[in-house]
Structure 1
Amino acid sequence: MADTTNAKGKGPSLPSVTNVRVYDRDKYVATGTIVAGEVSIYMPGIMNTNYAKQISVIVNGTEKVKVPVNQDGTFRYYAKDIVKAVTDVVKVVLYNRNGTVMETLDVLIGTTAVSAETRTGSYANMYQVGASYITGGYNNVLTLKALDGKSSGDPTTIEGMPTPMAIELPRLELNTISSVDRIVSGMTEPSGYVRLTVDGTARSVPQADATGYFSISSSSIISGSIVLVESKVGSYYPGSVTVTVPAPAGAPVTPTNLAVSEITQTTAKLTWAASPGATSYKLYQNSSMVPWKSTSITSYSLTGTAGSSWTYQVTALNASGESLMTAKVPVNFLPE
């Protein structure tokens, strides 16, 4: 794989050919060495600067949240709720691993379905209003050119033998994640490492077995959790997959009509509509993914200090599992 600390290969075994230049299309990005025909290219700097890690979209001048790119050189961004008309001005922004903008791509908007394209370089496919995703691809092929050492300091340096080098991310495949068993498993490189992050908090870095299989148990996973798994090569984590954990089959629907009432300086009351089949409810406070309180009824009496502010969310439970969370509801206790 090229996505290692050093990419290796074979080159011309000539005394005058001692270096190889690396290009991202027509842009020079790095120089590697050729010693006795053995090519070595230091990759972390190339990958951090010249390889896409995340994308966002800009709609009518407003940038939306970033999401990871796919590992296969493609990307997709959920746009059904944010691109409404053919007159919208939409751009895709590609970010490298250092969080710096690499490229900005214009997105053509239409009202009829179009087939996704496969092209070289970075591109955004035409988006049909009402479709789920904006799709496209990012550059994942570098070009190597052997450099004639005899003329390397001359403005007329001779470069030749262009060779494409596909950037291959380490293998990373995830099995379905359930909020009931709370196990993250899948396949990566044999004996490789993966890093697990749940809802923005790093959890563990387990090692896969000799076949590449890994399995991680994490009690912090609940319905709606955002699970990020990254695969390690060398000293960094170039590959990643992000999954939003669904509610399990048979779990209650998310409670509705969450509201706050009867607010005083030190008390307030939360209420919500019953979820059919629910046997209990969990309350979450201030965006924490750890349950704060549980109740079997559809209300909860709050206490606090004058002038303080909090947010609350509620889920419904039954024997099959837990629903997704409600939207946040703020509670602002009255000042003294």
Structure 2
Amino acid sequence: MELNKYKVGEGYINGTVSILVAKLKLIINNVDSKTIPTSGDGLLKYYANDKILNPTDIAYMVGMDSLSAEIVRRKVILNNWTEDDLTINPMTTLNAYLSGTAPVGSTVRYSIDGVSKTLGTATDGTYKWAGGVQLAGTVMGVELREGAVYNVKKEIVVQALSGSPSTPTNFKVEGLTDVSAKLKWDAVAGATGYRIYQNGYNTVWKTVTTNSYDLTGTSGTSWTYRVAAYNATGEGLRTQEVTVTYL
């Protein structure tokens, strides 16, 4: 008996079998499954979609004679998940859902900017997570789990809507002292104003209509900032972080 590799959710275990084998049964994690007759043509086909549910399952195919005596036993080699098994649908700042496809029965984990949010099972080969509308530039991730390890990961970046302003350039810190500093960036054509984000948070810290902002602080403390331009269409992508460390 020879078995093809099997991937969870694939449907059938396929292979070849001797004509001496009259019956087949699948043993998964030491538990017997239904016994079925062979087709008699030397081909092996056993439905396992509702039986092998995890890439870490231990499975054996057993061939028996007409009296149910075991003739041959082979281990079912399970393929691991790959990036081809996982898709993520594109997102813009209008989408409230992270969605895509994953193997049937697989466990998926979602993340926003690298922070894990929840777990779920792709029972029908798809997943959909209502994470709410995300800011442009937010990194959305999905991972597939094998046993206790998430070894397949894909990410997408939430895109700004067409017509929203471009990312501010030349974002920098000027006039740094022990208690004050100025954030400054180049003005963006078509922008109504600018939103400033502090310390990695995705909630707006300050909104301004000019391309600078005066800061006050305490000597020795550090803060990080990003800025994004917005207009009536929406918000554009945020800048990279700059760090302000008061002298």
Specify the TM-score bucket, using the shorter chain as the normaliser. 0.5 to 0.7
- Aligned pair partner of 2:73 in 22, 37, 43: 37
Superposition deviation, residue 255 in structure 1 = 0.8
Aligned equivalent of 1:200: 114
Aligned to 2:61: 10
Which structure has the larger Rg over C-alpha atoms?
Answer: 2
Give me the identity figure in percent.
Answer: 33
Q: Give unpaired runs (5+ residues) of structure 1.
A: 15-33, 52-69, 73-170
2:246 paired residue number: 333
Query: What is the CA deviation profile of residues 242-266 of structure 1, one whole-angstrom value per residue up to 9, with x for unaligned ones?
Result: 2223333222100122232233321
- AA aligned opposite 1:324: L
Equivalent AA in structure 2 for residue 37 of structure 1 = R
Q: What residue number does 1:177 align with?
A: 91
Q: Write the distance in 1 (CA, Å) between the matches of 2:170 and 2:207.
A: 18
Give the structure 1 partner of residue 230 of structure 2. Answer: 317
1:1-336 matches, cutoff 5 A: 1=7, 4-6=55-57, 8=59, 10=61, 37-39=73-75, 71-72=83-84, 171-190=85-104, 192-208=106-122, 210-219=123-132, 221-233=134-146, 235-334=148-247
- The secondary structure found in structure 1 opposite 2:210 is coil
Q: CA RMSD in A?
A: 3.2
TM-score normalized by the length of structure 2: 0.64
Per-residue CA deviation, residues 1-22 of structure 1 (Å, 9 max, x unaligned), is 16711253536779xxxxxxxx
- Per-residue CA deviation, residues 298-322 of structure 1 (Å, 9 max, x unaligned), is 2212111012232322111123322
Cα drift, residue 292 of structure 1: 2.5
Question: Contact 2:191/2:230 (CA < 8 Å) preserved in 1?
Answer: yes
Distance 1:225 1:213 in 2: 22
SS at match of 2:83: coil
Instruction: Report runs of 4+ in structure 1 exceeding 4 Å deviation.
Output: 11-14, 233-236
Q: Deviations over 1:230-279 (max 9, x none)?
A: 13455543433222233332221001222322333212221222212222
Q: Which is strand-richer, 1 or 2? A: 1
C-alpha deviations, 1:122-173, integer Å up to 9, x for none?
xxxxxxxxxxxxxxxxxxxxxxxxxxxxxxxxxxxxxxxxxxxxxxxxx322
Gap runs ≥5 in structure 2: 1-6, 9-53
SS at match of 2:111: strand
Cα 1:328–1:235 shift into 2, 3 Å: closer
